[in-house]
Structure 1
Amino acid sequence: MTNLTPALSGRVERYPGAPTPPMLDTWQDAPHNRWALAHVSEFVPTTTIRREPPAGAGVTRLDALSRVEGLAWRLADAYTDAFVVAGGGEVIAEYYRPGFAPDDRHLLMSVSKSICGLTLATLIDDGAVDPHEPVVRYLPELADSAYGDVTVQHVLDMTVSVDYDENYRDPDSEVRAQDRIAGWRTARDGDPADTYAFLRSLRSAGEPGQRFQYCSADTDVLAWLIEAVTGQRYAEVVSERVWQRLGCDDDASITVDPVGFAFANGGISCTARDLARVGELMLSGGARNGEQVISSSWVRQTLSGGDAELARGLAIQQTHRNASYRNQWWSTGNARGNVYAVGIHGQYIWLDPSTGSVIVKLSSCPEPVTTEWNDIHAGLFADICVALEN
Structure 2
Amino acid sequence: MTDLTFAGPRTRVSRYPDAERQPTLDTWQDAPHSKWAFAHVSEYVPTAVIRQTPVDRAGTSNLAALATVGDIGARLEASHTDAFLVVRDGERIAEYRRPGFGERDGHLLMSVSKSLCGIVVGTLIDDGLIDAAETVSVYLPELADSAYGDATVQQVLDMTVAVDYDENYRDERSHVQAQDRIAGWRTRLATDPENTYDFLLQLRKSGSHGRRFQYCSADTDVLAWLIESVTGSRYADVLADRLWQPLGCDHDASITVDAAGFAFANGGISCTAGDLARVGRLMLAGGRIDGRRVVSADWVASTMAGGDVDAVQDLIIQDVHPNVSYRNQWWSTGNERGNVYAVGIHGQYIWLDPPTSTVIVKLSSCPEPVTADWNALHATLFRDVCAAVG
TM band (smaller chain) = 0.7 to 0.9
Q: Letter of the aligned partner of 2:326 in structure 1?
A: Y
Q: Does residue 379 of structure 1 match 2:377?
A: no
Tell me if the contact between 2:60 and 2:99 (Cα under 8 Å) persists in the aligned partners: no
Aligned position for 1:249: 250
Q: Letter of the aligned partner of 1:244 in structure 2?
A: Q
Q: How does 1:170-319 map to 2 (within 5 A)?
A: 170-319=171-320
Deviation by residue 1:13-66 (Cα, 9 ceiling, x = unmatched)? xxxxxxxxxxxxxxxxxxxxxxxxxxxx89974799xxxxxxxxx964111111
Aligned position for 1:5: none
Q: Does residue 86 of structure 1 match 2:90?
A: no
Tell me if the contact between 2:43 and 2:256 (Cα under 8 Å) persists in the aligned partners: no
Give, in angstroms, the shift of residue 190 of structure 1: 1.1
Aligned position for 1:134: 135
Aligned position for 1:350: 351
Give the aligned length: 340
Give, in angstroms, the shift of residue 208 of structure 1: 0.2
Tell me if the contact between 1:46 and 1:254 (Cα under 8 Å) persists in the aligned partners: no
Aligned position for 2:8: none
Tell me if the contact between 1:46 and 1:256 (Cα under 8 Å) persists in the aligned partners: no
CA RMSD of aligned residues (A): 1.7
Tell me if the contact between 2:60 and 2:97 (Cα under 8 Å) persists in the aligned partners: no
Q: Which runs of 5+ in 1 are unaligned?
A: 1-40, 49-57
Aligned position for 2:25: none
Tell me if the contact between 1:338 and 1:353 (Cα under 8 Å) persists in the aligned partners: yes
Residue 310 of structure 2 aligns to a residue whose secondary structure is helix
Residue 217 of structure 1 aligns to a residue whose secondary structure is helix
Q: How does 1:54-65 map to 2 (within 5 A)?
A: 60-65=61-66
Deviation by residue 1:122-144 (Cα, 9 ceiling, x = unmatched)? 10000110000111111000000
Distance 1:219 1:45 in 2: 23
Give, in angstroms, the shift of residue 87 of structure 1: 1.9
Q: How does 1:46-85 map to 2 (within 5 A)?
A: 60-85=61-86
Distance 2:250 2:290 in 1: 15
Q: 1:368 to 1:43 in 2, by over 3 A?
A: farther
Give, in angstroms, the shift of residue 287 of structure 1: 0.5
Deviation by residue 1:223-243 (Cα, 9 ceiling, x = unmatched)? 000000000000000001100
Q: Which runs of 5+ in 2 are unaligned?
A: 1-41, 50-58
Distance 1:95 1:261 in 2: 34
Give, in angstroms, the shift of residue 216 of structure 1: 0.1
Distance 1:330 1:336 in 2: 14
Aligned position for 1:337: 338
Distance 1:89 1:47 in 2: 31
Identity of aligned residues (%): 67
Residue 95 of structure 2 aligns to a residue whose secondary structure is strand
Distance 2:327 2:224 in 1: 17
